[in-house]
Amino acid sequence: MVVSCQRYREAASARLDHEPLQMSASALDHHLSTCLDCAAWLESATRLGRSLRVTGHTPPDLSPRILDQIVLPAAKVGRYRTRLRVGLAALGFLQWALATPALFGDSPGMHMSMHASHESAAWNLALGAAFLAVAIKPVRAQGTLPILATFVAVLAVLSAGDIAAGLVDATRLASHAGVVIGLVLVLLTARAQRLMLPPGAAAGARTAKAELSRFRRKGAA
């Protein structure tokens, strides 16, 4: 196809769509009567357009469903994350409560030296602070996971040996339950954080949904 044919085909397409030709109708008709390629192209385009008009149908409007799948899951994940944050905050204060007696040399369920008791209290305070930090700002969950998971894994192995040797009783073991629960909550918080939309995306989706609703009401009116 020579370059000049392109503008005639654009004009022919515009005629099919009832748009301005950007050239005189006589010039277009003259070119179509002398150029077999363009005449064949126009015939094919006309046949295709007629086929679409006869057999085509308007597809269903899936915009609300698509927007709902963006906004609603984000809202659900947000509520789920809020519950995790509340749990982590409560667990953080619980860890602090467990650490307080050990600060004064009273460690439940195990005979420890004063310094070892203070070390345990400091670690429990640190765990409580970590849980509260994640509860306040969930993006910190991913960075907290490696340290917390390592602590729980090593504690589980060492506790198994201590139980076998009769060095620890049920009361002391129960005090570690909060750390395990905390690890699970932090893990779930990190996962929920990854599922959240980027900042402003959920608001943008809600705005788009509102605009779509207004457009439809205006069209119906």
CA distance 180 to 155: 10
pLDDT value at residue 63 = 59
Domain boundaries, the chain: 3-55, 63-205
pTM of the model: 0.46
What are φ and ψ of residue 35, in 5° steps?
-110, 110
Give the DSSP H or E segment for 212.
helix 201-220
CA distance 93 to 90: 5
pLDDT value at residue 122 = 79
Sign of CA dihedral 151, 153, 154, 157: positive
Please list, in sequence order, all residues whose beta carbon lies within 8 angstroms of the beta carbon of residue 57, skipping any fewer than 6 positions away. Answer: none
pLDDT in tens, the chain (221 residues): 455 788 888 888 888 877 888 888 888 888 888 888 888 888 888 887 776 655 545 556 665 565 555 555 666 777 888 888 898 888 888 877 776 766 565 554 444 556 666 677 778 788 888 889 998 988 888 888 888 888 888 888 888 887 888 877 777 777 778 888 888 999 988 888 877 655 554 555 455 555 555 655 554 44
